[in-house]
Amino acid sequence: MLYLECQEHDPPIRASKPSGRTVYELPKIRAMVAQREYWIAEYEATHREAPSAVELERFFGQYDLNTVVFLQAHPRCRIRLADNEGNHYDGS
Ligand SMILES: [Zn+2]
């Protein structure tokens, strides 16, 4: 599993929920990090219309929802990714 980490903290803050399963999903996750203003706005607009967690997950998909929720809490932080084996990957 891949998790976002905020590097503005020491040690970095790791997301509690994964953003993807494998490294093949890194490009998509990095694109979301790069365009986080857009995704955060999408999330907030959707959240206003459909506030239930089930509907949000249906709209974004489980992993993308996890990504955008973490990005909303870290709108300007340096982000990297980590997996369960202790590997780290650039966030952009
Ligand atoms: Zn942060």
Q: Contact at 8 Å (CB) between 13 and 45?
A: no
pLDDT at residue 21 in the model: 97
Mean pLDDT of the 30-57 span: 92
Ligand 1 centroid to Cα of residue 65, in Å, is: 17
Per-residue pLDDT for 51 more than 80?
A: no
CA distances from 17 to 35, 50, 69 (A): 20, 21, 10
Beta-sheet strands, E only, within the chain: 2-6, 13-14, 79-83, 88-90
C-alpha 54 to ligand 1 mean position (Å): 26
Collect residues with CB below 5 Å from ion ligand 1.
Answer: 6, 8, 74, 77
Strand-by-strand arrangement of the 79-83 sheet:
13-14, 2-6, 79-83, 88-90
Tell me the whole-structure pTM to 2 decimals.
Answer: 0.94
Q: Which domain holds residue 71?
A: 2-90
More confident residue, 59 or 19: 19
pLDDT tens sequence across 15-30: 999 999 999 999 999 9
- Alpha carbon distance 70, 75 (integer Å): 9
Domain total in the chain: 1
